[in-house]
Amino acid sequence: MDLLERLGNGIWDPWLLGGFLLAGLWCSAGTGFFQLFGWRRWLGTTVGSLLRPRRRNRGKGLTQLQALSTALASTIGTGSIAGVATAIFYGGPGAVFWMWVSALLGMMTGCVEKTLAVRYRRRSREGGWEGGPMEYMTQGLGLRPLALVFALCCVAASIGGGDLVQANSIAAALEHAFGWDRLAVGVVTALLTGAVILGGIGRIGRVSERLVPAMAILFLAGGSAVVLCHAHALPAALSAIVAGAFSPRAAAGGGLGYTMAAAMRYGVARGVFTNEAGLGSSAMAHAAADVDHPAEEGMWGMFEVFVATGLVCTVTALAILTSGVYDPQKALAALEAGAVEDAMVGASLSAAAFSTVLGRWGGPFVAVCLLLFAFSSLLGWSYYGERSLSFLTGTRRWTGLYRLVFLLFVAVGSVSDVGAVWQVADICNGMMALPNLIALLLLSPEAFRLLRLWTAEK
């Protein structure tokens, strides 16, 4: 565990922390902070289109709602429940502030990423679309070696972050709520996941289109109820978030305190884990969308970050901080003594917050939401791993073996140590993000041009 923690910190702090923030700031400045000043445009293109009659899918690609739902299936995962709780426990309330910063800047990173994914995509053998960072690195930059590095890291991330973490959180939540055996939960989850992913991206898109909106509305309704019932504690929670974000060492009593570096480390890492802006993974789902202009899909990339981190993660964080279930002094003491228990962190902490309002139904409610979130994430990440493996090997003959390994690790993750699992996820995501951030910075002028042209046309 110490080795994994040192390796994760070495990758993220300060290199990738600064990389994500600088990439987001660059993309924001290059578009005139479009996420703020162009809010009418991107909301009208996304939310507005959902209120208008749907146009029929003209090809074999995904509809924009299916592409968004598939991308959100991987982003609104356990990071939205267990990941936020983990960030607060290890980084303090200030981690929430840096999660918000990463989301605000990440909206434009996501916009550039999805715009480039559609700009450089290609037709699949089935007649649909496929693309992502591998394609814009190869076609846009002519750097196939960089694309191969990304694909290799994405395969590892699909197992380490998209597989182990989701399975572990499902098993932990159901064990805590209902006392179910973790290995048995892992096996059943693997079987259900296999039944969907065998149908390819088409079936994943159709399942996600029905599952993702329902689960997001369910969780947001329950979380909002918790925050409203503890509204009197909201000012103190917001104050702790801001104070913890900027204090060199935010005291928590007993001589202990969270550092600003820890708040940034866990806040940005968890923010990236939940919205995937800059990782490049969800760009593969958006590349499959049936869309007229690349920049139009960029609007859906912005909306994805806004929903995943701006709404869902914020509700989780405020529910934890206003309900009183999180004690910073006890958390810091446990960290210093190396005696962190599963019940103190992750999904268990979120469940405790919901139980303050929902009573004995709080744990089951969070368990069901987390089950839906994590299951949908497994579907999205399985597709990303398959796409990366086929690009890496130049063939699809290994797809069956990959799916078998992916499902096997669902069972393995269900009985793994929660702390080690999250460290592995951070390491895999960090290794995957580096080549993608390089490509985004080099190709960003092309995305800026496409956004200006599309805006002028509108």
- Averaged pLDDT for residues 186-210: 84
Q: Is the pLDDT of residue 418 over 70?
A: no
Q: Is the pLDDT of residue 57 over 60?
A: no
Tokens of 215: 């689960």
pLDDT per position as a tens digit, 223-250: 999 999 999 999 999 999 998 888 765 5
Judge if pTM exceeds 0.75: yes
Report the mean per-residue pLDDT for the chain.
84
Task: Give, for 6, the enclosing helix (H) or strand (E).
Answer: helix 2-11
Q: Is the pLDDT of residue 53 over 60?
A: no
Task: State the pLDDT at residue 243.
Answer: 87
Fold of domain 2-48+60-457: Amino acid/polyamine transporter I (1.20.1740)
Q: What percent of the chain has pLDDT over 70?
A: 91
- Averaged pLDDT for residues 369-390: 87
Banded pLDDT at 135 (limits 50, 70, 90) = very high
Write out the DSSP string of 249-304. Answer: EEE-STT-EEEHHHHHHHHHHHHHHHH-TTT-STHHHHHTB--S-HHHHHHHHHHH
Task: State the pLDDT at residue 209.
Answer: 78
Nearest to 303, CA basis, from 58, 39, 33? 39
- Averaged pLDDT for residues 194-206: 81
More confident residue, 341 or 432: 432
Banded pLDDT at 253 (limits 50, 70, 90) = very low
Banded pLDDT at 145 (limits 50, 70, 90) = very high
Task: State the pLDDT at residue 333.
Answer: 82
pLDDT per position as a tens digit, 147-162: 999 999 899 888 877 7
List for the chain the helix, strand, coil content (%; round to 5): 80, 5, 15
How many CB atoms are closer than 10 A to CB 147? 25
| Least confident piece of the model among 192-206, 384-398, 440-454 | 192-206
pLDDT per position as a tens digit, 105-118: 999 999 999 999 99
- What 323-327 contacts at long range (C-beta under 8 Å, 24+ apart), as own/partner pairs, is 323/226, 323/230, 323/233, 323/352, 323/353, 323/354, 323/356, 323/357, 324/230, 324/233, 324/356, 325/349, 325/352, 325/353, 325/356, 326/88, 326/89, 326/353
- Give the CA distances from residue 27 to residues 21, 109, 243, 260, 357, in Å, rounded to whole numbers and listed in that order: 10, 6, 28, 25, 41
Task: Return the domain boundaries, the chain.
Answer: 2-48+60-457
| Dihedrals phi, psi of 162, to nearest 5 degrees | -80, -10
Highest-pLDDT range among 46-55, 242-251, 327-336: 327-336
Task: State the pLDDT at residue 292.
Answer: 84
More confident residue, 442 or 363: 442
Task: State the pLDDT at residue 295.
Answer: 94
Task: State the pLDDT at residue 330.
Answer: 85
